[in-house]
Amino acid sequence: MMTLSEIGNIPVDFAVLKSIFPDHKSVHNKISELEKSGTLIRLKKGMYVLSPKESGKLISVELVANHLYGPSYVSKESALRYYGLIPESVYSVQSMTTKHSRVFVNSLGKFEYTQCEKSYFSVGIRQEIMDNTSFLIACPEKALCDLIIHTPNLNLRFQKDMLAYLKDDLRFDMDAFYRMDSSLFEQCAQMGKKRTVIENMIKIKQR
């Protein structure tokens, strides 16, 4: 039988916790007790993660984001910051999902989910491993497309507007931009919205 410490830093639901404490008359009371003592951290109703002092592992907010609402992958500014492509700190964990857009707030922070089409969702996702923890995140190209396509009222019809957005608004690492894979941009243009805008970005990269 699994013990609490064996969970590690993977978020778990009520059913898993119930299996760990089969002899307890009230698992809800046990969970409340563990939460009050700081052993468990509540992510949302019915989902928890072990505190680092208990698991011996750092909490991965990216892994939490994957579990909190799915299917989903970390993207947009959160992914761009993770890769070191933009300098600004990001104050929420941003993800894409095929479900309805949602926002969750818990003691770890704010988790934002943006809905996209299923056919577009599957493009450019990778499994990243950090500190022996694996999670799903957009590749840099997909993260940039997600941000541009799903930022409301962002109108980048002309190449000069796109360049200004990358250089001035995002302060994007332009050397890295010119090394990006155009084929991934093309896939996003075909599958997603704002096709002309993404095609403009491809032209900037290729000129």
Domain count, the chain: 2
Instruction: Note whether 50 and 65 are same-domain residues.
Output: no
Could you read off the pLDDT of 77-131 as tens digits, one per residue?
999 999 999 999 999 999 999 999 999 999 999 999 999 999 999 999 999 999 8
The verdict on 45 and 66 lying in the same domain is no
pLDDT band, residue 20 (cuts 50/70/90): confident
**168 and 198 fall within a common domain:** yes
Pick the last residue of a domain from 18, 34, 55: 55
Same-domain status, 163 and 95: yes
- End position of a domain, from candidates 55, 72, 96: 55
Q: What is the pTM of this model?
A: 0.92
User: Where in the sequence is the domain holding 129, given as residue range(s)?
Assistant: 61-206
Residue with more model confidence, 206 or 198: 198
Q: Do 101 and 194 sit in the same domain of this protein?
A: yes
Q: 198: Cβ–Cβ under 8 A, 6 or more apart, which residues?
A: 145, 148, 149, 185, 188, 189, 192
In this predicted model, what pLDDT tens digit does every residue of 48-83 receive, in sequence order? 999 999 888 999 999 999 999 999 999 999 999 999
Please report the pLDDT score of residue 3 as a whole number: 77
